[in-house]
Structure 1
Amino acid sequence: MKTFVYILYSEKLNRFYIGLTTLSVEERIENHLKKKYAKLNFTQKADDWKLYLSFEVLNYSQGRQLELFIKRMKSSKFIKSLKEDKVKYESILNKFKSF
């Protein structure tokens, strides 16, 4: 089963959202925009979420570890660096290959 960690960005909120899914990333974004996740109040605050970055991971466990790692960084600067710095992007993915 394909698993993805994805990062959404809202210009309206000027914020990122980090998530994990076994659906296609496109389907997951559509569900966020349609406000299908009642418990996820954060994504309901905006209606302009766009895909910023996504990672295909080996399995759900690896994805969860990567998702939590990115969330713990609590830094939009860090998230932006993932998109801009391919070496950093690859090194972080490699860090979680064993999960």
Structure 2
Amino acid sequence: MSFTTYIIYSQTLDRYYIGSTEDINERLIRHNNGNGSTYTKKAKDWELKWKREHETRADAMSLEFSIKKKKSRKYIEYLISKSNLE
């Protein structure tokens, strides 16, 4: 079992969202169906931009909070630029 820290982006809102989950595919569907967080309900065009796998939920959440604590769009875009998703 693995856990994922992820960054998704909505072009409609021009916003990023950082989260962590056990099932990234199911979680992305929930974000786009309005069943995600209050923050992501405002848009239906969220797409995965970055992810990192972890062995434990604690590690995934620790990285999530570390990224959020920086409050930096530049840092988020830096992580995405180093991603192999695209």
Q: Could you say whether these structures have the same fold, taking a TM-score greater than 0.5 normalized by the shorter chain as the test?
A: yes
Instruction: Tell me the residue number matched to 1:29.
Output: 28
Instruction: Note if 1:65 corresponds to 2:68.
Output: no
Classify the secondary structure of the residue corresponding to 1:47. coil
**Per-residue deviation, 1:36:** 1.9
**Per-residue deviation, 1:59:** 0.7
Structure 1 residue ranges without an equivalent (≥5): 87-99
Classify the secondary structure of the residue corresponding to 2:53. strand
Using the size of structure 2 for normalisation, the TM-score is: 0.89
Instruction: Tell me the residue number matched to 2:19.
Output: 19
Which piece of structure 1 moves more, 76-85 or 2-11?
76-85
Q: Which amino acid aligns with 2:4?
A: F
**Per-residue deviation, 1:32:** 0.9
- C-alpha distance in structure 2 between counterparts of 1:67 and 1:61, whole Å: 10
Q: Which runs of 4+ in 1 moved over 3 A?
A: none
Structure 2 residue ranges without an equivalent (≥5): none
For residues 26-67 of structure 1, what are the alpha-carbon distances to aligned partners after superposition, in whole Å with 9 as ceiling and x for unaligned? 211001111123xx2110011110101011012111111100
Aligned-pair Cα RMSD in Å: 1.3
Using the size of structure 1 for normalisation, the TM-score is: 0.78
Q: Which amino acid aligns with 1:76?
A: R
Instruction: Note if 1:5 corresponds to 2:20.
Output: no
Bigger strand fraction = 2
